[in-house]
Amino acid sequence: MSDRFTDINGLLHYGYFVDWPYEPPKLPFSQATLEAARDERSTLAALDESALCDHGIRLWKQVCRRLLDSRSGPFVVPLSAGLDSRAILAGMADQGAPNLQTVTFGVPGSFDYEIAPDVARQAATPHERIDLRTIAVETGRIDGIVQEPGRSSFLLDMYFNRAISDRYGPDCTYLSGYVGDVLAGKNLRDSQSVDWEQARSRFAHKNRHSRTATLTHPDAQTTALLPEHPYVSADLMAFDEQLDYAVRQECLMRPIVMRPDYDSIAPMLDEEWVIFMLALSRDQRQGRRLFVQLFQRGFPALFSLPTTANGGLPLTASARAVQTHQRRLKRRRRLLSKLSRLMPSITVPLGNRSWQYIDFKQGLNKRADLTALFDRGMQRIDRANWAPWIDAQGLLREHRDGVADHGKALSVLLNLDIVTRAGALNLPPVEN
């Protein structure tokens, strides 16, 4: 099969380009940093967890101090209801950062939209919310993102994230929680792959973006675009983690949350912080256990507030309390959904309140801008025959008719349409 066949199927499987037409993916830190983390393990192993937390708190404050000394601000922290942006806000506020602004995008009812203002209030920082329902999707602006420096990822996600930098402009420093949760251990598997081939196979299976429809050709080899060899030996970093950082984080997440043409910084990629987090034991990193303890101890007021990390409740809430809370939210959503049929002005929260973007289930039926974007995109894909085994317009109809929630599949196909029109795949153009 041709390289173009592989490229198209890679995009259809993962939703983003792993390799071509960009540089091959790579780890976000050097081998020397990983070797330093390995050498630090014995030192940290000699400390009890109370001492580890105290050490980590001091280190995090130093990270934020160094950041403040290197920039004059203003600083903008995109604040979610998660833990990473909260940790950045806590550290920067603790160090007396001037001109510190927090901002949240989302839709009413989502955890980010409802919880983040309380976090900002506790930190005594100004805060703004951007309601994504008011952000019109402009085709020309989305097309322009593909032409900007750096990789493209999920273009609608990039578009909505740009609402923050578009609002505050190029003269600010934007502080992202990029890779913070992964360094803390959020994505650690219960079992590790024994070799590189197993890690590649498991990564390809886990990172198939569309689950309601198979978009790839039956002959596609979805591991073909993944690196053929590990970046470093397994004693420096487990094989599964290497693929997570190099492919998922660098190719998927970084383009979404860090705008390359603006001053975007990921404080948790500070070398000393990376060494500390990766030098912790697997048990301490599993489920972000020590990370949570550390920030609860260092910044108890901020880390006592509700968070998406525990189902919209504080970190101290029990699993049973979270389940009860989730059932209550579902009952309330069902009630509001029924009432909205009588009073259309009533806002029905998302089914998944951890989701920070618009509700594609509703948006593709109710928003004219999204309707036009997806209608034209799916028509072009079918007319061009770029992937003749896919019925793009059929998937869109099923989605609108409620047969299946093809939101993820349609987002992947929209990416195919946009990057192809931008010339990334060298495919024949199709008239609108």
Rg of the chain (C-alpha set): 22
Confidence bin at 408 (pLDDT 50/70/90): very high
Q: What is the pLDDT of residue 1?
A: 41
Q: Could you read off the pLDDT of 133-171 as tens digits, one per residue?
A: 899 999 888 988 988 888 889 999 999 999 999 999 999
Confidence bin at 338 (pLDDT 50/70/90): confident
Both 142 and 242 in one domain: the answer is: yes
Q: What is the pLDDT of residue 147?
A: 85
Q: Could you read off the pLDDT of 54-76 as tens digits, one per residue?
A: 999 999 999 999 999 999 889 99
DSSP 268: G
Both 307 and 328 in one domain: the answer is: no
Residue 2 pLDDT exceeds 60: no
CATH number at residue 297: 3.40.50
Q: Could you read off the pLDDT of 234-288 as tens digits, one per residue?
A: 999 999 999 999 999 999 999 999 999 999 999 999 999 999 999 999 999 999 9
Alpha helix (H) ranges present in 180-315?
A: 180-184, 196-206, 239-243, 254-257, 271-279, 282-285, 289-298
Q: Which domain holds residue 283?
A: 3-312
Q: What is the pLDDT of residue 424?
A: 66
Confidence bin at 386 (pLDDT 50/70/90): confident
Decide if 276 contacts 39 (C-beta within 8 A).
no
Amino acid at 251: C
Both 330 and 194 in one domain: the answer is: no
Q: Is residue 302 in a domain?
A: yes
Both 214 and 263 in one domain: the answer is: yes
Decide if 131 contacts 107 (C-beta within 8 A).
yes
Both 197 and 341 in one domain: the answer is: no
Write out the two tokens for 355. 């989701």
Q: Assign 3-class secondary structure to 104-160.
A: EEECCCCHHHHHHHHHHHHCCCCEEEEEHHHCCCCHHHHHHHHHCCCCCCCHHHHHH
Both 342 and 203 in one domain: the answer is: no
Q: Is residue 148 in a domain?
A: yes
* Secondary structure class of 215 (helix, strand, coil): coil
DSSP string, 352-389: STT--S--HHHHHHH-HHHHHHHHHHHHHHHHHTSSTT
Q: Is residue 399 in a domain?
A: no
Q: Is residue 387 in a domain?
A: no
Cα(124)–Cα(120) distance, rounded to whole angstroms? Answer: 6
Write out the two tokens for 152. 């493209």
Q: Which of 384 and 21 is assigned the larger pLDDT?
A: 384
Alpha helix (H) ranges present in 207-318?
A: 239-243, 254-257, 271-279, 282-285, 289-298
Confidence bin at 431 (pLDDT 50/70/90): low
DSSP 100: E
Cα(107)–Cα(357) distance, rounded to whole angstroms? Answer: 7
Average pLDDT, the chain: 92
Q: Residue-wise over 259-286: b if at least 16 C-beta within 10 A, else e?
A: beebebbbbbbbeebbbbbbbbeeebbb
Both 342 and 242 in one domain: the answer is: no
Residue 104 pLDDT exceeds 70: yes
Confidence bin at 426 (pLDDT 50/70/90): low
Residue 91 pLDDT exceeds 80: yes
DSSP string, 40-55: HHHHHHTS-HHHHHHH
Residue 92 pLDDT exceeds 60: yes
Question: Could you tell me the pTM of the whole model?
Answer: 0.93
410: left (phi over 0), alpha (psi -120 to 50) or beta: alpha
Q: Is residue 429 in a domain?
A: no
Q: Is the peptide bond prior to 227 cis by the omega test (within 30 degrees of 0)?
A: no
Both 53 and 130 in one domain: the answer is: yes
Cα(316)–Cα(296) distance, rounded to whole angstroms? Answer: 10
Both 308 and 326 in one domain: the answer is: no
Decide if 409 contacts 213 (C-beta within 8 A).
yes
Both 268 and 325 in one domain: the answer is: no
Cα(240)–Cα(244) distance, rounded to whole angstroms? Answer: 6
Q: How many CA atoms lie within 13 A of 220 on its CB side?
A: 23
Both 238 and 331 in one domain: the answer is: no
Domain count, the chain: 2
Q: Could you read off the pLDDT of 326-335 as tens digits, one per residue?
A: 899 888 888 8
Both 108 and 195 in one domain: the answer is: yes
The mean pLDDT of 220-237, rounded to a whole number, is: 95
> Which one, of 286, 187, 198, lies nearest residue 245 by Cα?
187
Q: Is residue 391 in a domain?
A: no
